[in-house]
Structure 1
């Protein structure tokens, strides 16, 4: 009895227009910056037209990427609300997969932009086993003080002890698949952001992600017991916005690219993977072929890295020791530099930089649940 599961950061599946770029150029789309705009009313009209024209191609590509996962259950990040998810599923994904993900759940978390964690699921697996939704528990309310996780590093970043740990949520979903219990923790950790006072964004925001990872581990241990969690059926899925390795890209298209694997000295993943608490099954793939995101700030700063994870409990990992996840990269834009042998056929209408399915790639795996 198997379940096909995927995680995907769909990048701003929004139902709202963002007009903040009129006053804050950092939020202004580069297309509008090419034009002289006389007033805010004109800016709003142009932004609406730009967003609508851009979104149709983007969401067709997003739907193609989800369809390629062939997943029975999908964890999503950066979803505006349930209405946005329903509109996307009905208007785009339905055209790819037909009557599929009838059940959808969205957590209203803590993100200041309103991008939330969501899940959607089929009524049954591809092999006909029923998927029963049992309950959903949000942990968006948990504070640093409540879990005893407030540190001087967090205080230096302006995080008070009474503030909430999760930048979005740790959404706990209990299922029964063919009668067998399964718990999924859907997460989306704090983004790295840009440099701050000369400190790289990843390093500056690391204490927040470490606290989030520690809180997820605490939630699981509280649920199943510290001495019993290893033997239970659970997994952590989502965008952790951190990596333990990068594939650094050098050279260029004319002289040839170089791809060098670089190990990081610190990552929030260390908290979750320490002592065999869980396994990152994407690490069953070759080191150079684990990436789910292409990062670039220009030709001098380019790398591939894994930000999207399916972490299995020890019991789930043992039962699925031969399972190797798939990474769906057909929705990547043409600017993404692929290592030799990894090239894929891009989806129709994918652009040089945009439109694209997302800046992230979906990760999917088939797991034996029985």
Structure 2
């Protein structure tokens, strides 16, 4: 069977703030969105909080309207704010209970060529079990599978599953499997909490139980760890370290329950030698498929951007039982922009510009005899 992991970077729609030309442009918007959302959720709004709420709303383009260039403030009932004729914003609510509504990121459609190249990757990858990172939700993933893959003469996956996670931007993790690889019992860790009460996982760390045509069983966990994109480096590193430590604990629990064939896959947003990933990569018996003698990296050690060593952030980790069953593995980069001076790898004929890339990430795959 072929197991693969691919960060699709959304399929139909993506938050506008994440679709800007550079991450540096979108980062302040996402940081202010997160800060405003957190403040809006407070039980009581102090005078200082109200000042900050108004400041953030103005920064996000909400001074004149509930619809800004990157966010939408939905006010269903109750009074949250007033907009004086002289300008500015006045927060009138005394706390979260005084109004009903939400703050949302605005979406915009994905480039059609990029969408089709994402589908081409899924078709040519020929995976039997595919972990998907950054899909909007299950209906979108199912529609992409049934409509776009079929439109390009590909064979849709038989099973599509995605458990809604903690990220408000619509970047969740899911699983797609072929006929003969049914998804059995599932367990979500979306509500796992740290000692301070915060959700550990930025999205989720779902456990999927899968049966193979030969009667073999394996458990696949898909994850997308905290990015380095916004927030301080210390906070981001601490978050990923906590996530890696929790994944280690989950893995050990699964092993203790008698399972042998376990794969942990996804975008971990850090390199193999990083301190945040140490609990998972160095303090367990899990093996990175990149270290297997039958694995071919295509001449480049990374999986993101131009695939240098510092861009090795996508993983397939296997338990010893699965690792010894590996027949071969590799990195699929045909849907990625190859650079221009020089071009680093061959791409789809339809990939003419960087924005036409199916993703900034390569897909990673492994063939396992199970």
TM normalised by structure 2 equals 0.70
Give the structure 2 partner of residue 144 of structure 1: 194
1:4/1:70 contact within 8 Å kept: yes
Distance 2:19 2:112 in 1: 21
1:326/1:365 contact within 8 Å kept: yes
Over 3 Å counting, the alpha-carbon distance change for 1:270 and 1:100 in structure 2 is: same
- Which runs of structure 2 are paired with 1:15-30 in the superposition (5 Å)? 15=13, 18=16, 26=26
Work out whether 1:312 is the aligned partner of 2:312: no
Work out whether 1:13 is the aligned partner of 2:21: no
Unmatched 5+ residue regions in structure 2?
30-63, 71-106
1:118 pairs, out of 164, 174, 181, with 174
2:210/2:219 contact within 8 Å kept: yes
SS in 2 for 1:174: strand
User: For this pair of structures, how many residues does the alignment match?
Assistant: 291
Give the structure 2 partner of residue 359 of structure 1: 360
Over 3 Å counting, the alpha-carbon distance change for 1:26 and 1:184 in structure 2 is: closer
Distance 1:6 1:84 in 2: 20
TM normalised by structure 1 equals 0.70
SS in 2 for 1:345: coil
2:267/2:313 contact within 8 Å kept: yes
Deviation at 1:121, TM superposition (A): 0.8
1:335 pairs, out of 335, 339, 345, with 339
Give the structure 2 partner of residue 260 of structure 1: none
- Which runs of structure 2 are paired with 1:192-231 in the superposition (5 Å)? 192-193=228-229, 196=232, 201=233, 204-225=235-256
Aligned alpha-carbon RMSD (Å) = 3.2
Work out whether 1:271 is the aligned partner of 2:298: no
Deviations 1:321-366 (A, max 9, x none): xx33211111112437779xxx432112324321101010111111
Work out whether 1:235 is the aligned partner of 2:266: no
1:242/1:267 contact within 8 Å kept: no
Give the structure 2 partner of residue 299 of structure 1: none
Work out whether 1:289 is the aligned partner of 2:300: yes
Deviations 1:184-239 (A, max 9, x none): 1111111111584xxxx4x551111111111011112122219x66xx11110111
Over 3 Å counting, the alpha-carbon distance change for 1:121 and 1:286 in structure 2 is: closer
1:279/1:312 contact within 8 Å kept: yes
Distance 1:107 1:42 in 2: 29
Unmatched 5+ residue regions in structure 1?
29-38, 45-49, 125-130, 146-160, 245-263, 297-301
Over 3 Å counting, the alpha-carbon distance change for 1:139 and 1:43 in structure 2 is: closer
Distance 2:264 2:5 in 1: 10
1:68/1:328 contact within 8 Å kept: no
Deviations 1:151-205 (A, max 9, x none): xxxxxxxxxx111100011010001112221101111111111584xxxx4x551
Over 3 Å counting, the alpha-carbon distance change for 1:303 and 1:314 in structure 2 is: closer
Give the structure 2 partner of residue 172 of structure 1: 207
- Which runs of structure 2 are paired with 1:175-194 in the superposition (5 Å)? 175-177=210-212, 178-193=214-229
Over 3 Å counting, the alpha-carbon distance change for 1:144 and 1:234 in structure 2 is: same
Distance 2:245 2:340 in 1: 33
Give the structure 1 partner of residue 165 of structure 2: 109
